[in-house]
Amino acid sequence: MTGRRVSFLFLGQDRPAEALAAFRQAGDCFAQEGNKDSVIALQSFQAYALWQMGRGKEALALSAAAVAALEQTPGGECIQDIYWHHSQILADDERRATNDEDWSLVVSRASEYVEKAYRIVTQQAESLPDEAWQEQFWRRPLHNAIRAAWQARQPQKARVCLPRLETAVAGRTAVDQTIEIEWTPTHPDDAYIQDKVVRRRRQLARLLAKAEAQGGRPTIADLAAALNSSPPTIKRDLAAIRRDA
């Protein structure tokens, strides 16, 4: 069994220190052979092993170097692994830095690399000859994890029926005076905003803009339901948005 295969075996057995040593040894061999693609890939796996050992700063520096080298050279190997490793290490680094209790909602800088990893595996899946092969492809743990992470970072869209812009503000709206629109109550970028009030008002402004662009006029109740908030809170937010405008 080659040193590289042993490295993956150690990593899969949750033995990152032994995996790190084996990855380094394999990397040295490939460097002597002048195999740059393998060296870059093994740098990334070394970074991943360091991350699993709790050595985050070293892992981030080595992973960033692997990504930079990959993007300076066309082609390469284990490209999705390199981007995936970097996204995981970046996310963990930011999680420690922000200490955000709602981290499950946070979309960090790592999103860019999740997107790149997903693009690669999607291209690979689409190149397969039939759906059965594609289904097997997506069952692989790495591919499934990348797809799940990508899906979690997509804007959460919803379709709702709202009064048309030209309808009266007060009173019940007849069905023929409504219009179905699509808007985005939550977006991954919202998580960058630490202050919950500022975040909600940004979401509110986005909903209003989306509705108006499609000919809809949301009520206080529509906005409160979309943002899982109370009507009095929405009224205060709307007043603040108008005041600031």
Read off the pLDDT of each residue in 214-218 and give the average, rounded to a whole number: 93
Helix (H, G, I), strand (E, B) or coil at 156: strand
pTM, rounded to two decimals: 0.71
CA distances, 141 to each of 25, 104, 137, 240 (Å):
26, 20, 9, 47
Instruction: Name which of 45-49, 126-130, 171-175, 179-183 the model is least confident about.
Output: 171-175
Residue found under tokens 């093994």: 42
Residue 176 predicted with pLDDT over 80: no
Instruction: Name which of 47-51, 148-152, 205-209 the model is least confident about.
Output: 148-152
Could you give all domains of the chain from N- to C-terminal order, each with its CATH number?
Answer: 3-152 (1.25.40.10), 156-244 (1.10.10)
Other residues' Cβ atoms within 10 Å of the Cβ of residue 242: 8
Read off the pLDDT of each residue in 35-63 and give the average, rounded to a whole number: 94
Residues in CB range of 165: below 8 A, 6 or more apart: 212, 215, 216, 217
Amino acid at 26: A
pLDDT of residue 105: 39
Confidence of residue 74 (pLDDT cuts 50, 70, 90): confident
Helix (H), strand (E), coil (C) string for 59-92: HHHHHHHHHHHHHHCCCCCCHHHHHHHHHHHHHH
pLDDT of residue 106: 42
CA distances, 99 to each of 95, 96, 102, 119 (Å):
6, 5, 9, 30
* Average confidence score pLDDT of the chain: 86
Higher per-residue confidence, 34 vs 95: 34
Read off the pLDDT of each residue in 145-163 and give the average, rounded to a whole number: 89
